[in-house]
Amino acid sequence: MVLEEISTNCRGCGHGGCGIIVKVEDGKIVGIKGDETHPISKGYICIKAYAAVEQLNHPSRLRHPLRRIGPKSSGKWEEITWNEAIDVVATKLKEIAEESGPESVVFMHGTGRDYFHFMNRFTNLFGSPNYVTNGHMCYIPRLALTKVLGLSSLPIVDYDASPKCVLVWGSNSVISNPDEYIGINLTLNLKKGAKMIVVDPRKTRLASSANIWLQIRPSTDLVLALGMIKYIIDRELYDKNFVEHYTIGLKDLKIHVSRYTPQLVEEITWIPRDKMEEAAEMYATTKPAAIHWGVGIEQNINCIGIDAALMYLVALTGNLDVPGGNVLFDSPPIVGYRDFGLPDKLPEEKKQKRIGGQEYKLLDSVGRCPPYAVWDAIIEGRPYKVRALYIAGSNPLVVRENTARVREALEKVEFMVVADMFKTPTAEYADIILPVASWLEYNTIGDYWKSHGYVFARKKIVDNSECWSDLKIFNELGKRLYPEYFWNDPDDALNYILSPAKVTWVEFAKLGYLRGRVEYRKYIKVGFNTKSGKFEFYPEKFKEWGLGPLPEYQENPETPLSASALAERYPYMLITGGRSIEYFNSEGRQLKTLRRSHPDPIVEINPATANKHGIKDGDWVIVENHRGSVKMKARLTEGIDPRVIHAEHGWWFPEIETPDHGYQISNINLLTDDRPPVDPLMGSTRLKSLLCNIRKA
């Protein structure tokens, strides 16, 4: 027996990025541990990484392509070969495209999938502009804004240069490790003595250890940010050198924020004015400082406003592209994911047909369409009929807002393919299910889409001929329809991506990672990619769209202030989607390791609120509103305002063997909405601003 230790890059969650060492004995994985030499994760891994082997060998894992027999969600399937499956999918998609246009086929994937560039390449060649992620309210708004603001990349926290103050806004990275941020880096920075301000409606672990915790009323983040900007400008706490020499539009910005007085901020956000002012002072006067943001800020109708306001705060205080601030990191010298996707192959007339493209300009600029507009196209034929869905690594029946409409769309769509490791509630509605490989079973490039300047080698550890990687699936579909643009093997594509760095995949796998050049204050040499060459506090695009320097705050349509009649029946503000360390969205509910740690869907309630309803800690509770009701287990906590309820998302029950797998029991998206009003530029929906009531089950 020979024990081998192989370093690779985890993808236990959709964001991935942690370095791990996999112990292999006689071709079998016998252990996983953190890689202390990894430049990002520094030896940290979470419970999801440890559960990867259980997922790999799970008895419920799909092993063969399946074709549905009988009506949708009948639960009856027949096994077919991979050759048959690829033939059926390629033939049917081509047939629909020829009859109704390629735009009548929609392609969808889940968060942070490491094969999205293969899907993008295929969809652009196929001619469909309809590409769906959850990006309309998660991360993509920030990326889209970088273009508007003339930034070369997303400005992220430079933890390796030790910021002296970190403003954590709508993020809980020690639990979720989202996007570029792995929580260990914030933790290590705090151990060095950095100050921390946390903006969050819940008293998370981070909020508990913060110097200042701003317990904000859900979805009023833009008001707080505008109030902080006003305070910093009025007291001239901004970086005068940077603002004078490298920005324009401060006067316009000052006029725009003038009405967001401390009194108004306190009234709308519930944050006492002295705490807001203390936080603004600490962030503006501690150098260097950085803003660490998360999706909590984007899941409401003020999404673009708050994203822009936070970037303005970074620039205003001179913390843009400086050591320890929010830095614009350069990518390694490789073929970028946008170029790999062949965007030029999608004809302009097809781009004009993107569903939702005319309504949501910023979302359209990054080639996405909102999911609810796709449901409209399936259910109502607006703006045209969508006939087919290809869904990879996503469970929209559980994770998308407004489950009732998702279900109606899945029932009505003519042809649907689902690629997944398990038979999810969504997969039960498919015509073809494709069993996909675990991230331990194929080679790919990790963190390919991130803005921290690294890419990592995610290596195949074990063989599995039964399940194909999504890279291979799209490569094989591509070879059937567009053979000149695809490869004999996906590893050949990895060589192509790495070719500008003059390394092969094999060489890259030995290196472990590549990093782009690190250079600070690049604006001194090259300025900003704007008409003026400076950072603009009043971007030209905002002027074109009829906006001020920042979008004005809009009260979300479902709050006690905006819907007082509804609030009489449903008096509590409902927020959803807070992460737990065990699960990534709806993934992992079938893994015993994770379920032992976190067995039940949790709803957080203040003890005073619970007492009104006769609810004790651990009781099963009904959470309900005018859209539906779910059953969850109560966790009583003083860390949430008595006027606010927080419910976990992503719950279904794989152990229930009926085709619905109990997805309607505790799925909080039965209570969420996807109808307008939404963010006018991104189409972002409201997961953090809803109304509900509770009662003991």
Residue-wise pLDDT for 171-209, tens only, equals 998 888 778 889 999 999 999 999 999 999 999 999 999
Residue type, 233: I
How big is the CA angle at 684 (ends 196 and 117), to the nearest 5 degrees?
90
Residues 134, 146 contacting (CB under 8 angstroms): no
Q: Does residue 618 surpass a pLDDT of 80? A: yes
Is the per-residue pLDDT at 222 higher than 70? yes
Q: Is 409 helix (H, G, I), strand (E, B) or coil?
A: helix
Start-end ranges of CATH 3.40.228.10 in the chain? 149-330+522-544
Q: If you average pLDDT over residues 49-69, what whole number do you get?
A: 96
How big is the chain, counted in residues? 697
Tokens of 207: 């909020």
Helix (H) or strand (E) holding 93: helix 82-100
Give, for 228, the enclosing helix (H) or strand (E).
helix 221-234
Class for domain 564-696, per CATH?
mainly beta
Q: What's the pLDDT score for residue 501?
A: 98
Give every CB contact of residue 83 below 8 A, 6+ residues apart in sequence.
Answer: none
pLDDT in tens, 246-255: 999 999 999 9
Looking at residue 580, what is its pLDDT? 92
Q: Check the CA dihedral 373-353-540-331 and report its sign.
A: positive
Least confidently predicted of 251-255, 446-450, 503-507, 624-628:
446-450
Give 120-129 pLDDT, tens digit per residue: 999 999 999 9
Residue 490 clears pLDDT 90, i.e. is over it: yes
Average pLDDT over residues 636-646: 98
Q: Mapped to the 3 state alphabet, what secondary structure does 451-506 carry?
A: CCCEEEEECCCCCCCCCECHHHHHHHHHHHHCHHHCCCCHHHHHHHHHHHHCCCHH
Structure tokens at 126: 């196929």
Considering only CA atoms, which of 320, 244, 329 is closest in space to residue 289?
320
Dihedral sign from CA coordinates of 581, 14, 452, 291: negative
Average pLDDT, the chain: 96
Which DSSP letter does residue 330 get? Answer: P
Kindly report, as residue ranges, where domains of CATH 3.30.200.210 are found in the chain. Answer: 3-50
Find how far residue 565's CA is from the centre of its chain: 33
Residue 1 reports pLDDT greater than 80: no
> Helix, strand or coil for residue 31?
strand
- Give the pLDDT confidence score for residue 697 in this predicted structure: 96
Q: Is 99 exposed, middle or buried (0-12, 13-18, 19+ CB in 10 A)?
A: exposed
pLDDT at 16: 75
499 vs 546, which has greater pLDDT? Answer: 499
Instruction: Give domain 3-50's CATH architecture.
Output: 2-Layer Sandwich (3.30)
Band the pLDDT of 74: cuts 50, 70, 90: confident
Q: What local confidence, expressed as pLDDT, does residue 614 receive? A: 98
Question: Is residue 431 within 8 Å of residue 73, measured between CB atoms?
Answer: no
> DSSP assignment of 148-187, as one string?
HTT-SS--EE-GGG--SEEEEES--HHHH--TT--HHHHH
In 3D space, the residue among 403, 419, 408 whose CA is nearest the CA of residue 377 turns out to be: 408
Percent over 90 (pLDDT), the chain: 94
Q: Does the pLDDT of residue 393 top 90, yes or no? A: yes
The whole-number average pLDDT for the span 668-680 is: 96
Task: Say how far apart CA 282 and CA 369 lie, in whole Å.
Answer: 39
> Distances from the Cα of 114 to the Cαs of 12, 101, 474, in angstroms?
12, 28, 13
Q: Residue 3: pLDDT band by 50, 70, 90 thresholds?
A: confident
pTM (two decimals): 0.97
The ranges of the chain annotated as CATH 2.40.40.20 are 564-696
R_g over Cα of the chain: 24
Q: Which CATH number fits domain 66-139+337-447+454-515: 3.90.320.10, 3.20.20.70, 3.40.50.740, 3.40.50.720?
A: 3.40.50.740
pLDDT surpassing 70 at residue 305: yes
626, two tokens: 């005018």
Using CA atoms, how far apart are residues 614 and 161, in angstroms rounded to an integer? 51
Give residue 148's pLDDT.
94
pLDDT of residue 112: 78
Q: How far apart are CA 184 and CA 581, in angstroms?
A: 13
Whether the upstream peptide bond of residue 332 has omega within 30° of 0, thus cis, is no
pLDDT of 2:
72
Return the closest-CA partner of residue 629 out of 572, 567, 697.
697
Does position 13 have pLDDT exceeding 90, yes or no?
no
The pair phi, psi for residue 187, each rounded to 5°, is -60, -45
Position 93 pLDDT exceeds 70: yes
CATH number of 149-330+522-544: 3.40.228.10
Structure tokens belonging to residue 330: 């350069």
